[in-house]
Amino acid sequence: NAGVTQTPKFRILKIGQSMTLQCTQDMNHNYMYWYRQDPGMGLKLIYYSVGAGITDKGEVPNGYNVSRSTTEDFPLRLELAAPSQTSVYFCASSYSEGLRNQPQHFGDGTRLSIL
């Protein structure tokens, strides 16, 4: 299993540009998540999905959109990039079913700079 795969690893955007961060997992996990991590900080949840066709906002969803058309893929879309969105973005997945929560598995991140 490759686990959670994120692409690209690095990207520089100009203010106002748009892009999609890709995330795919091959563990058949039902839950998927997007986080951002600012320097010296913990992870903040942007959006999450409990299954294909279902998405919900996390703590910091403004400026982002997601979709979950398949179990494997959970892309994150930035429509109008702003300098405040400069961060490292992590995708994660887990198998979760009530008390059978399992830990989240993370990708290696996408480092995004908005100039």
DSSP class of residue 98 equals: G
98 belongs to the binding site for another protein (CB under 8 A): yes
39 belongs to the binding site for another protein (CB under 8 A): no
Interface map 68-87 toward another protein (x if CB under 8 A): --------------------
CA dist 8 → 43, 56, 67, 76, 88 (Å): 19, 24, 18, 12, 11
Residues contacting another protein: total by CB under 8 A: 24
Q: Is 31 exposed, middle or buried (0-12, 13-18, 19+ CB in 10 A)?
A: buried
- Given 1, 14, 39, 40, the residue binding another protein (CB under 8 A): 40
Pairing state between β 19-25 and 4-7: antiparallel
Tell me which residues touch another protein (CB under 8 A): 4, 33, 40-45, 48, 58-59, 90, 92, 96, 98-99, 101, 103-109
